[in-house]
Structure 1
Amino acid sequence: MPHTSFATFTESLRRRLQQPLPGEAAHRRMMSGSRQRMSVRPNEKARRSAVLILFYPYRGEIYLPLILRPIYDGVHAGQMAFPGGRMERTDENLIRTALREAQEEIGIRVTDVQVLGQLTELYIPPSNFFVQPVVGIMPHRPDFYPDPREVEEVVEVPLATFLDETIVGDTQIEVRGVLIDAPFFQIQNHKVWGATAMMISELLAVIASAEIPQQGT
């Protein structure tokens, strides 16, 4: 991956995102034990939302940002996530939702984002959200201006970090007074688990099958 140019990577990923996605098969790798035992499906009251998975070149590598949510009275307080949020009536589609929310939360310029495609929508039972992950790129590292009401910290992560199998672990996390088994990615002293980890798992499966050539081949 470090030997792949950003242009080659993004074009290969764009083509791969137009093909059938691994979906739930990839999600299961990072799915909690309780979720695997339950049949969780969106209901008629589920709210639509979207997140942005944004790649950009930086220091000779490919990066993407995660955000740390601040502590608040909510089910996702203090968790690592992709920037995103609920769909508004003024959003013409979920791609617009992802871009708008990313601009509001981390201050990126949406006019600099090129959308490559989308991953599989994912239902999040605790918040009753049906989330569409949108994959995009920027030609340079963005200037981040996080909204302190929504974002405690922007965590920039090299893609190569996610390709390291040693960062994958399993732990027990208390959710609403119940301990659940939760696979996670260990990222810069933060555990990335739950729906975000499931999205990352599908993303990595897509990248692995994208047939991205190495330089000189």
Structure 2
Amino acid sequence: MLKIRSLDAYYGEFQVLYDVELDVSPGEVVVVVGANGAGKTSLINALSGTIDREGEVWFDQRNISTVPAHEIAATGLVQVPEGRRLFPFLSVMENLELGAYPAHARASADDTKRRVFDLMPRLRERVDQLAGSLSGGEQQLCAIGRALMSQPRVLMLDEPTLGLAPIMVSMVFELIDEIRASGTTILLVEQNVNRSLELADRGYVLEGGRVVLEGTGAELLANDRLKAAYLGG
């Protein structure tokens, strides 16, 4: 469903990704892990078309390497950004409705909204509350719900558990598993290496903007190099 070949990415003249190759098949959870500054968020931004990139990005057999960001999102490759980036002075409901901007999503927005509330009942309880007044975990749920409103085919999650309390971390990982079970393919960028690889079908390790390891989630969890670098030995 998603195929990346020889991907380089830049912020201005500063290169942040080097010759990245990555595949995501339908129905998978694919995880990208690595230390701060490894290029994980840059990878998501490059796939979303929000930073300069070179190389090939194929989505559902279509080359989207030169497609602008707003058109990429409309194809079904949808990002939940790090930091959530909600509209804080709009209500939860208004933030969700803004996610349904593609024409195909608007046509079935009510059905999608019911699905979002079934997945995240807490959002139903807070539909009229300003998004900026939610807790950090509730804001993350709202950001994921907003993305689901656009009916993504591949959902790209950038550090969804960053800064959350442990109980909310568990809730977010359970939610990701439920979203995958409902048929949405997921590309997950995450610093919680252990939890994310336990969930993953496959994973990639980024260091210095390059892929240095790849394998199934179980293979990477058993890898001595990864254990020494990220799991305390």
TM normalised by structure 2 equals: 0.26
- More strand as a share of residues: 1
TM normalised by structure 1 equals: 0.27
Relative contact order: is structure 1 or structure 2 higher (C-alpha 8 Å, sep ≥ 6)? 1
